Amino acid sequence: MIKHYYLQLTVLLCLSGIAFSSCAQEKNMEKEKITVFKIIASNDVNALKQWIAERNNVEVRNEKGETPLIAATYANQAELAKLLIDAGADVNAQDKMLNSSFLYAGATGYLEILKSGLKAGADYKVFNRYYGTALIPACEKGHTAVVAELLKDKSFPIDHINKLGWTALLEAIILNNGNSKQVEIVAMLIQAGCNVNLADNEGITPLTHAKNKNFKAITALLEKAGAQ
């Protein structure tokens, strides 16, 4: 009986120790999370360097599913983003909105963060909530420097079709007013070898969209490239 009692007591103490350890770990993780996102919010480079040096988890997430890198990207904090990427942060990790650091940097024209993401092995098969690449919104929004950077890599899926049925070329035409930036982007896409005849879900080609919107400069570029 005495041996049995001591055995039960030992088991209870062990379980209590495990529970205490687990609770302590959870508290540490919560403290770690609060600390790093405060650092990101204050754009404190030195504090982030110290936080990283303490070997904290660079993939910790907040309630929005953001990692520190995603949070830094949203704020266009290029130096913080680079520190996190150099520390091993995943440039392809996505939050609850399906934004990754790389995808959001492309969509918003944050060139330095995009470059860091490319060097860190951005995955072109990770798509945003529209099933789109970084290139498609960059073309839509006229981020010429980002478009040029992405097109340097011949393996980039230039003709990828998002769930709206649009390629980067179609989005550059459909959602714009034919301004000089869009003319430049269309020219870059053609130069990079995009398929100028890929139509949307309704069978309307880029050339037809350009003509319907009276985009003369874009129409001329497409016709010269053999668009129909």
Give the up-direction half-sphere exposure of residue 3: CA atoms within 13 A in the CB hemisphere.
0
Place of tokens 């960059």: 138
Assigned CATH topology for domain 1-129:
1.25.40
Evaluate whether 80 touches 49 at the Cβ level (below 8 Å). Answer: no
Q: Please state the rounded mean pLDDT for residues 195-199.
A: 98
Dist CA 165 CA 167 (whole Å): 7
How confident is the prediction for the chain on average, in pLDDT? Answer: 90
Report the distance separating Cα 220 and Cα 225, nearest Å.
9
Q: What pLDDT score does 34 carry? A: 75
Q: Contact at 8 Å (CB) between 150 and 122?
A: no
- Per-residue pLDDT, averaged over 62-83, amounts to 98
Q: pTM for this one?
A: 0.86
| Dist. CA 37–CA 87, nearest whole Å | 16
Tens digit of each residue's pLDDT (9 = 90 or more) over 45-71: 999 999 999 999 999 999 999 999 999
Q: pLDDT for 90-122, tens place per residue?
A: 999 999 999 999 999 999 999 999 999 999 999
133-228 shares the fold of 1-129: yes
Kindly list the domain boundaries of the chain, sorted by start residue. 1-129, 133-228
Superfamily for 133-228?
Ankyrin repeat-containing domain (1.25.40.20)
